[in-house]
Amino acid sequence: MLQHTVMEPHVRWSEVVSQLRPEDEDLLFGTSLSRRFSRLPLWLSHPANIGMFYGFLISLALIFPYILRYDSLNESFSNWLMFSALFMAACLVLGFASLILVSFSKRMPMTPPRVILYPMPFVGIALLGMDYSNILDIPSGLSLFVLLLPGPAYVHLSWAPRWRLLCMIDEGVNPFDGVKTYSEPVEDSADSLAGEYIELLQVVDAFESE
């Protein structure tokens, strides 16, 4: 009686990753941030969870602006909890939406515009802090947009398609099979250029012998 052997997940990963070209491996794991997320279990690094984690980090940074806005500490904490729950839920829903779109489009990971996205949370927190402390009258919608955009943009452009590829590798499938990420080399040897012209080949051989 034949015994069916099930390949362990780490064996599948090592076998598929060892077959990848360097450019495919760079596309799969990305830069330092994506590489850190790729070390997590797939259920934990789900795009919705990564988006919600971004919302949690932003919520922690907003504790001080909320203390500035309200006179009572209890009022500040209750309003901060409400905002944090809504902000994290919005990031979670956007992460799910990105994964659904990527599952249909089969799009490969893209590098997000770091120069634009990375400073935006700090700018948004500064704008919200100035608004809550009555230093400047800044529309709250603008501050919330600047705060919300970087996390979901990173998940949509980079992490959601990368997570889909990691799931394929976890199943033992090479996601880059049949996908060309390089150009074919141009054949420029004398034999390929000359074809069946024997006289041309004889002239080339004569020059090489001299």
Question: Is 28 a domain residue?
Answer: yes
Residue 20 lies in a domain: yes
Which amino acid, 73?
L
Q: Are 161 and 102 a contacting pair, CB within 8 Å?
A: yes
* pLDDT tens digits along 73-107: 888 899 999 999 999 999 999 999 999 999 999 99
Query: pTM for the complete prediction?
Result: 0.75
In a domain, 184, yes or no: no
Q: What is the pLDDT of residues 14-35, one digit of tens each?
A: 667 767 777 777 778 887 888 8
Domain annotation covers residue 163: yes
pLDDT value at 210 more than 60: no
Domain membership of residue 70 (yes or no) is yes
Residue 181's pLDDT is what? 46
Closest to 161 in 3D by CA, of 50, 48, 47:
47
With respect to residue 201, please indicate whether it lies within any of the assigned structural domains: no
Number of separate domains in the chain: 1
Residue 196 lies in a domain: no
82-86 LR contacts (CB < 8 Å, sep 24+): 83/59, 84/55, 84/56, 84/59
SS3 for 1? Answer: coil
**Torsion sign (Cα): 75, 79, 85, 88:** negative
pLDDT of residue 6 exceeding 60, the answer is no
Domain that holds residue 55: 9-177
Residue 126: inside a domain: yes
Report how far residue 107's alpha carbon sits from residue 206's, in angstroms, rounded to the nearest whole number: 53
Name residue, tokens 């203390």: 67
4 compared with 203, residue with greater pLDDT:
203
